[in-house]
Structure 1
Amino acid sequence: MNALDIRTVDVVQYVTPLREGGSLPAIVKASDGFMYVLKFRGAGQGKKALIAEFIGGELARAIDLKVPEMVFMNLDDSFSKTEPDEEIQDLLKFSVGLNLGLHFLSGAITVDPLVTKIDGLIASKVVLLDSIISNIDRTPKNPNLLYWNKELWIIDNGASFYFHHNWPTWENHLTRTFPLIKDHVLLAQATQLPAAATSIALTLDSAKISAIIQSIPEEWLVNEADDLSPDAMRGAYTRYLTTKLSMIDVLAKEAQDAR
């Protein structure tokens, strides 16, 4: 199976922590000269949050939503040795290895849905994407959406796919809908749900899903607490997504009813 062409860079400078995120991401400079928001494998939800972030972001990109470029970021152990803050020091120490970076959108502002008018089709696609990936964290309190260059950008999908925190029961989630969509920050502006469902169904084929899942770094899928092998996990993510896509009209109707 073909994987996506995701670049790998090295962290060369830790610039500043972003205190607004619960997982304490940071702005860093990479070996390619660009600035990134670095999501750490050593943070609260660990590597599974990186997997959710990566899959959710690349699915959003595949359905023509705007997502900052994502890169795999190597972090070596030199940064923890020079960091005075103990909490950040520990985070850096536990995150040595491959992490996830999102291109830093300088000057971007957090979306306020009461102020920012979002295109109805785009809002509908975001709502349905979050239904598909079971994203519990795109609410008015925490939109996880940016406005940059007069366009809406999708960030922070790490709270998705919560079934992967308990692999023995993951199959129970396959045919569930997503009632929490009633709290979605863009639900009121999602005026084109049927059209968005049709567009997603046409755009997101099995080859694209497979390419995204095949691109997850192997080391993120290895966890002593999990019984499933990396290949079995890839199969589970793939089956989950293809099942949800087959239910896209049901998810659209659920969101429409919640509106």
Structure 2
Amino acid sequence: MIQIFKNSFIVFALFASMPLLAQQKDIKLPPEATEFWEPVPKKVTPGTQNHLPPSDAIVLFDGNNLNNFISARTGGFPEWKVENGAFTVTPRTGDIQTKQGFGDMQLHIEWTAPTVIKGEGQGRGNSGIFLMSLYEVQVLDSYESRTYSNGQAGSIYKQHPPLVNAMKAPGEWNTYDIFFTAPKFNADGMLVSPAKVTVIHNGILVQHNTEIKGPTEYIGIPNYKAHPAEMPIKLQDHGDLVSYRNIWVRKL
């Protein structure tokens, strides 16, 4: 008797589902039903090569001068040296930062560690790119120099190590293509969504939509505090002769 009831229930369930299956099967939409024509994507002309700025980029350094930067310490003109289409950290003069603020962005920047190798670990070719002046993508000569994994080149400093070590040898130019989503805060200053970053190092993905835990801290746990929607990009003077060139950014 129980078996007959079970079989009857299965047959009933099968027939009950047939109208739904038939209804789903009978839905026919024209191709136009899943097409939309607005908004029309803005036309952007790519650079003649992928590392060159597209037509909507803000060029921060084109090899000629540091007019788009100021000293983070004094607010005056940077003391870093421009030569041969690049500029180099002048040790103990302090960080430099962009005059303009940025939030969500695509940043292209090229850098090289000094060919005269001094020190090991964090004392070797050290600098940093601080997005919104707060969130550091590490710059370091970690080509053949061991250090803590979340402090090597391509790391989100003291938070996330890179997926791989994509470093080139000292004296060769490294490329970072950084895609950054700024953190969002509500009117009360509470964090709504954390910052996220994707980093491509020399054409290799090393950070994949990585969630940033908060502003970079050398000691202690990072904690978000509300800040403006756009802030300068800062480059770090860590005392080493790191050089930069070909810097451009697109606001997203």
TM-score norm. by structure 2 comes to: 0.25
Higher relative contact order (CA 8 A, sep 6+): 2
Instruction: Name which one, 1 or 2, has greater alpha-carbon Rg.
Output: 2
Normalising by structure 1, what TM-score?
A: 0.24
Q: Which has the higher helix share?
A: 1
